[in-house]
Amino acid sequence: MRKKDKQPQLETKNLILYPLLPEQMLLLQNDPNELCRSFSLVADDYAKYGEWAKLGKEQYEKMMADPEYMSFHTLWIITEKEDKHLVGYLYFLDRPSDTEAVELNGFIKPAYRRRGYMTEALNTLRGWAFANKDVTIMLAHPAKGDEIFHGLLRKSGFGHWVEHEHNKDSDTEIWCSEAKPRTLVKVGLLLGLGLGVVAGSVFSISRWITALIGAILGIAVCAVFDVKESRKRYALLKAEQDKV
């Protein structure tokens, strides 16, 4: 008998996000209320949300085809911590690309909108994704003129990628968020501090002053390389988007 997988979760002030395991994805398709009961959640009329089962089936097939990146193919259900309602979901459209980019989408049931739930959930899952070594950029494709969604994205650290809109006739826009701080800046800070302390000792100068100067120079030099790397990544990403 296979040992039962431990249920992972992400917790926020008001919410708990659960990435559904394969057996739970099947339950979502076959009996959503049984899935709710398994999480001690309040049952609901899921006939109103027919896309849930369809999306669940599509994502489940991706999970089975690419088990290494299962967390990027599943549905992350959003639940209320106190009132125990299943209020929505988030999901990635695919595994991280060669340009270290992922695209995120989601849904909140109408009764639970305008409570800040999506912003809270999106910020949390965005942080989880950026903690993954394969993710540096997160994308979203909101509809043009959708100011509510645009406002939500701004609150979650996204910006409109105006200069790289790949299809001017499209009904959607490209918004993106990049992981920060970059690794090279951290390296520059530590290396600069170390060299500054050594220089201070060698030249009999205050090590505090030389360490500070070294840290500033280290950050500045590595930041230049970071910018070059970021521009290169965005150029590759633009070419990737142009193929869509």
3-state secondary structure 106-134: EEECHHHCCCCHHHHHHHHHHHHHHCCCC
**Residues forming a β-bridge with 92:** 104
Which of 80, 86, 78 lies closest to 19, judged by CA? Answer: 78
Q: Give pLDDT tens digits for 43-87.
A: 877 656 667 888 889 999 999 999 999 999 999 999 999 999 999
Measured at the CA of 214, the angle between CA 211 and CA 215, to 5 degrees, comes to 85
Tokens found for residue 212 = 């500070």
User: Residue 144: exposed, middle, or buried by beta-carbon count in 10 A (0-12, 13-18, 19+)?
Assistant: exposed
The CB density around residue 138, as the number of other CB atoms within 10 Å, is 26
Q: Give pLDDT tens digits for 77-122.
A: 999 999 999 999 999 999 998 888 899 988 888 888 889 999 999 9
Whole-angstrom distance, CA of residue 61 vs CA of residue 74: 9
Whole-angstrom distance, CA of residue 115 vs CA of residue 81: 14
* Cβ proximity of 244 and 103 under 8 Å: no
Which of 134, 156, 155, 145 lies closest to 71, judged by CA? Answer: 134
Q: Give pLDDT tens digits for 175-203.
A: 888 876 555 556 655 665 666 566 666 66
Residue whose tokens read 């911590």: 81
Tokens found for residue 199 = 């220089």
